[in-house]
Structure 1
Amino acid sequence: MTELTIPRDQGVWRDTERCYRAVTARDSRFDGQFIMAVRTTGIYCRPSCPAVTPKSANVTFYPTSAAAQAGGYRACRRCLPDAVPGSPEWNVRADLAARAMRLISDGAVEREGVPGLARQLGYSERQLGRVLTSELGAGPLALARAHRAHSARLLIEMSELPLTDVAFAAGFASVRQFNDTIREVFATTPSHLRAAAAKARRRAGSAEAEAGNTGARLTLRLPYRPPFDSDGLLRFFAARAVPGVENITTESGRITGYGRTLRLPHGAGTAWLSPADGHFRCALRLSDVRDLSSAVARIRRLLDLDADPEGVRHVLSADPALAPVVEEVPGIRAPGAVDGAELVTRAMLGQQISVAAARTAAGKLTAELGGTLPWPGECTLTTLFPTPEAIAERGREVLRGPRRRIDAIITVADALASGKADVHIGRDPGDLRAELLALPGIGPWTADYALMRVLGSPDILLSGDLVLRNGAAALGITDLTEHALAWRPWRTYAGMYLWHAADRGASA
């Protein structure tokens, strides 16, 4: 029997034979890689849909749910094709289409329209529309419409907001547009979706959403592709957790959850995240429900939930030096970030000092200059990380250390506050790296670390990192730069394994 491998190249949905083989296998590893639409039913599904496999002659494949919707298909109510991990293709690719998808998932079109999306990407609206239609089968408006529909379904099913409020919170221009879209995409009405969700919650004996004057609370399931090394990821966050901004929960000495505050486009939020079988449980609290989709997108990037662990394993386990540690820790993830300016600031604070010392410095800065949450009573998550504006204005009063280092942090904060430096998920990696390197106090390590965590770039090797080099030496790797060429396009994940190897060697 020929082994069924996960497709990894761009435009895989165009290879209909390979996609159909994936559908007949009903392998959930392919969910999010492409969409299957069935012409005889007018429905689109995830590849692992448990329904009867249609004949190949009746199937069309699309790269996104938006493209399927533009083709006149509606979402399957059995397999819920939008409720799967996102395509890892957007992590691997750094082209215009991938960068646009990241910004659309963050709600850029709802906040700034297509002109704002095009401006952030550095293209004209016409160029952007042409590229997205060619690459993804749908233009920016259709992609944003699909994104709004998914956000609306979450609010319908997971909150008690009036449906009129749901419409505007999800980004629709009118209630009529909201109703029409829900009917077209899900083949039902908003009220029927809510009634079905309420019935399911009653059967489960729980209601996991509420809204009030202290913000909306929602509990979501954020799926990922197994395996997932949640222990390693949570330890990474715990070691760097800034008091007030972040916190962890433990049980019998094991980290069971991670929480942090969020500075979102329309207000503040908090998220508590705990691993479960095939998903993370996410308890959100938002001061403005319009930030739901942005919060979810940022948390997914923070936890690297859309990664392709099978693709990483396939490449890295082929290296005899790295294979043992890949076998030891399956499903390792690369930690992301929820805010570009925060990540750059924290990376600069941590230069040439220990992780613990960097955490202390960030904690002091936050205690003095951080923002407060709009609701009282949170005993552990209380503070928003300081804005670049606050650091530029008052950072000298708080920061300690060499004057040159303080001057660099203040200069970078001023550049971030003024827009001279713009660190967001839609940036071209090469352009962003050059922009960061032009700022004082930012060298190759800091710039590459920002690309790795803010953009989620999967092929960044921090070859100058001492701990990473110690890990390489522990595995018998001498010429790291040359050796790492065989790890492309997954050198970021290889670096995580080298960090693990260094920790293992230190504790041995």
Structure 2
Amino acid sequence: MHRSTHPLPAAPPFDLKHSLNFLNGFSPTLGEQMTDTALLKATRVGGQTVAFRVTQHGPPDAPKLEAELLSEKALSDLNTQQLLERLRFFLSLDDDPAALREKAAHDPAFLKVLDARHGYHHVKFLTPFENAVWAILSQRTPLNVARSAKRKLTEAFGGSLEVDSQTLSAFPEAADLPVDAAVLDAVLHNPRKSKALAAVVAGFQQVSDEWLKTAPDADIRAWLLGLYGIGEWSASFIMLRGLGRLSGALDVSDDSVLMREMLRAAEPIYGTLTPDELRQKGATYGELEGLWAHMLRSYGE
């Protein structure tokens, strides 16, 4: 087993405990990582399965994070860098919590949420592709059924690694999956979802990570909505939780699933609101509206 250790600087305050607590209740990845006092999880990078262990030393206001990478074959410098960047993005280590607090100066109700989550940074999906696949699998489907389908895809096309007597499964990258819906349906046994998944796989195989990071929000949203099976809710979900695009989180219809979920999440903080009243509150957060929305939703989970 090849091991290497790397520093993971984080913008303070950062408290890994909050990230672990969030993952413990995050339905799409339940049971896919170890979250005792550190984060132990596996992923696929460049066709290889790699495990990582993230630990924190030092208090939230002076955090010192470290990533231990474990793999059967030594990682190239490029793949090491790609994985470290993925971890930084996954745990939002570069986000500045002070920016959201400054925006919330006018919003005492939301300041209580921030106080309760001191040191929490937005936890995303490990990759935007995984987020997009989950959006397909979970549409109009009980969560336990969606998780079972995701597990079958991981077993068929992903990888696994034994670390500390634990078998860690790694969800596949887009390059690991076929674009043939019939092949996918042999695993999923759901023709509609298999067709949608094939479209998502093909879509992600055709765009670069750099484009996903740098393209304008409008272009990303249009691309997502052009993929079979990706609707308004799924596009907003992937924009925020897979790509870290934080603006325009409430640019959805009044009767959308996302709006209904947001109104339920906001009620304990703000009381009963109409969709327009919720949009008005979100608009005051500008480019951080999505982070505000995520914090509201995660607060009650």
Fold conserved between structures, TM > 0.5: yes
Kept after mapping to 1: 8 A contact 2:20/2:35:
no
Cα drift, residue 468 of structure 1: 2.6
Kept after mapping to 2: 8 A contact 1:337/1:454:
yes
Q: Distance in 2 between matches of 1:361 and 1:224?
A: 34
Q: Distance in 2 between matches of 1:322 and 1:470?
A: 15
Cα drift, residue 222 of structure 1: 1.3
Q: Distance in 2 between matches of 1:387 and 1:437?
A: 18
The equivalent of 2:179 in structure 1 is: 392
Q: 2:68 aligns with which of 283, 306, 326?
A: 283
Q: Deviations over 1:11-61 (max 9, x none)?
A: xxxxxxxxxxxxxxxxxxxxxxxxxxxxxxxxxxxxxxxxxxxxxxxxxxx
Q: Deviations over 1:197-235 (max 9, x none)?
A: xxxxxxxxxxxxxxxxx43x1122312122225333223
Q: Deviations over 1:109-155 (max 9, x none)?
A: xxxxxxxxxxxxxxxxxxxxxxxxxxxxxxxxxxxxxxxxxxxxxxx
Pair 1:435-2:220 in alignment: no
Cα 1:325–1:338 shift into 2, 3 Å: closer
Letter in 2 for 1:494: W
Kept after mapping to 2: 8 A contact 1:348/1:441:
yes
Cα 1:357–1:331 shift into 2, 3 Å: farther
Q: Which runs of 5+ in 1 are unaligned?
A: 1-213, 251-255, 504-508
Q: How do 1:357-396 and structure 2 match up within 5 A?
A: 357-372=145-160, 379-385=166-172, 387=174, 390-393=177-180, 394-396=183-185
TM-score (norm 2): 0.80
Letter in 2 for 1:456: G
Cα 1:386–1:266 shift into 2, 3 Å: closer
Letter in 2 for 1:275: Q
Q: Which runs of 5+ in 2 are unaligned?
A: none
Q: For the aligned residues, what is the CA RMSD?
A: 2.8
Q: Distance in 2 between matches of 1:492 and 1:279?
A: 27
Q: Deviations over 1:363-387 (max 9, x none)?
A: 12212232355x8986321444264
Kept after mapping to 2: 8 A contact 1:468/1:502:
no
Tell me the percent identity.
24
Pair 1:496-2:284 in alignment: no
Q: Distance in 1 between matches of 2:94 and 2:7?
A: 14
Q: How do 1:79-478 and structure 2 match up within 5 A?
A: 214-215=1-2, 217-238=3-24, 239=26, 240-241=28-29, 246-250=32-36, 256-265=37-46, 267-277=48-58, 278-286=63-71, 287-290=74-77, 291-372=79-160, 379-385=166-172, 387=174, 390-393=177-180, 394-401=183-190, 403-417=191-205, 419=206, 424-461=212-249, 464=256, 465=258, 466-475=260-269, 476=271, 478=273
TM-score (norm 1): 0.50
Cα drift, residue 391 of structure 1: 4.5
Q: Distance in 1 between matches of 2:248 and 2:39?
A: 25
Letter in 2 for 1:232: H
Kept after mapping to 1: 8 A contact 2:52/2:69:
yes
Larger-gyration structure (1/2)? 1
Q: Distance in 1 between matches of 2:228 and 2:45?
A: 28
Q: Distance in 2 between matches of 1:317 and 1:498?
A: 16
Q: Deviations over 1:155-190 (max 9, x none)?
A: xxxxxxxxxxxxxxxxxxxxxxxxxxxxxxxxxxxx
Cα 1:325–1:440 shift into 2, 3 Å: same
Cα drift, residue 333 of structure 1: 1.8
Letter in 2 for 1:282: A
